[in-house]
Chain A
Amino acid sequence: MSDAQTAPAKSTPAQQVATGDRAILPEGAKTIPIYVMGKKYEVPETLTIMKAMEFAGFKFLRGCGCRGGICGACPTVYRKEGDYKLHFGLACQTVVEPNMYLAQIPFYPANRAGYSLDEIEPTAEAIFALYPELFRCVACNNCTKACPMGVQVLDYISALKQGDIAKAAKLSFDCIQCGLCASRCMGELPQYHIAQLARRIYGKYIQPHADHLAKRVAEIESGKYDEILGKLTEMSKDELAKLYKEREREPDLAPLGTWMPQDTQYL
């Protein structure tokens, strides 16, 4: 830092390292060894597992989707040198560490029961009937330990056994269906499919429905907004900019619920 300040123009870059998640190696970037399916690769130290594997020459046909930690396509299992623990992470989110031994598990077989959400009884018994293996859980907690999203998997499985669909839906909310829980389960449960069913039942039958939403959907379907949307899409950029600038706007510090626009036709 002080070198750069005294002689910014002339200084050759000091020991520069790869920054961010770029797969193109900047000059002087430090590399570290990782082992992918047992074979050693030298990769830039700040990459995610996914980029590091691409850097090493792997090409993802499966095992990669959103690259944003939300699709659940890239679950990865790894161990670190000298550590008996298994570690779990999403390849697109987890930064490589020296001497990590990793393998991706893009898919893990797990049976999904067939059901019609419109016809299902919104009860815990209905879930038990579709997934009787639920009762094979021995509370080993391997599922929770494997979850790259930090979901309390054992707790939502327990909630279901206790008949609490709402609790299971809430506890499993962050699940991205990557399947690592199922891959580690001693009771061979497909946890993530069971949780999805719980959330579907919760959303359709248990969670209170928002009346104003239903009303607004009906308005949209009745064509209330078609005309103005049509007009907007026809407008030139300048016209749009003008409209935007002149729009009515709630004053920043207006007390909650006191302000109303002049034009209320679309409310």
Chain B
Amino acid sequence: MKISYYPGCTLKTKAKNLEDAALASMAALEVDFEELPRWNCCGAVHSLADDDLIHHVAPVRDLIRAMERGSDKVVTLCSMCYNTLARANLLMRDDEVKRKTINDFMDEEKDYHGEVEVVHFLNFLRDEVGWDKLRSKIKVPLEGLKLAPYYGCTLLRPKNVSIEPPGHPKIFREFLEVLGARVIDFAASTLCCGSYQILANPEAAETVAATILEGGINSGAEALVLSCPLCEFNLSKKQGDLLQKNMLSQEVPTYYFTQLLAIALGLGGEVCRFDLNDKISAELLKSKSLPSCDQAILT
């Protein structure tokens, strides 16, 4: 089985901490991933307008690139990329008319019918690596760390691309438990982070971001765990604004799930790029004095 890795633009720029930690972890898990040699933006948002097919061209082109590599699967780390690619893939599988229109438009490429499967890294870890194997590779269990997994929308909605059957998602919980953390479920974990409303309607986005962050801490979590740079922007980078407006009672550490994976695999802080997180996130880890990561984390 051949697996392509689709990074996404933000992971190469602002969210290097999401990618670098994942790449190091894949290597440690001896997972053979090949980054697509050619790829473009995933399209970022799945267009819902029935007559707006042009915005599906970008994700379909990426899927064609994976097909050209002879890959069965394309794995993503970013929830938004996952969602956009997976939905475009379903459209190409299920909608004969739109598939033909898109394939005709992209007449310089091979026709695509949904040959490749789009997989989020969490599913990949569970289904291809397996929790047992992952557990056996954990060198630094995240003991004493109380973490709240935050799904947001794009991992779960709409239900035909949900990384788990709709209902009570547990994959994130299982993942963090394998890493040795204490997992705190909280009601707001599947609320939308505010997404691009942060630009068009910032008050609404801030309100929901504050609800999520407060919800996490009030449930007893010490930090939120994320898988999306846009969620990270609203839930982490915007915390300063929330504090200033008294919408938030305290700073809340946030991590990408891949950073915690790398720490638990004993890969140390360097690969995690904590310099791109809020300071408080690195400090929390340091305060837990987990072996092998206390030194490097703040450097």
Contact = CB atoms under 8 A, between A and B. Distances in A.
A185 interface: no
A145 B108 contact: yes
A180 interface: no
Contacts of A125: 13
A141 B54 contact: no
A158 B39 CA distance: 7
Q: Report the contact-size class of chain B (Cβ under 8 Å from the partner).
A: 10 to 19
B57 A139 contact: yes
Nearest to B61: A139
A163 interface: yes
B12 A164 contact: yes
B55 A138 contact: yes
Interface in A181-197: 186
A186 B40 contact: no
Interface string B53-83: 0110110010000000000000000000000
Interface in A145-190: 145, 154-155, 157-158, 161-164, 186
Contacts of A137: 40-41, 58
B13 A162 contact: yes
A139 B41 contact: yes
Contacts of A124: 13
B191 interface: no
A140 interface: yes
B57 A140 contact: yes
Nearest to B58: A139
Nearest to B106: A141
B38 interface: yes
Interface string B101-137: 0000110100000000000000000000000000000
Contact of B38 (A145, A155, A161, A163): A155
Contact of B40 (A145, A158, A163, A164): A158
B58 A161 contact: no
Interface of A: 124-125, 137-141, 145, 154-155, 157-158, 161-164, 186
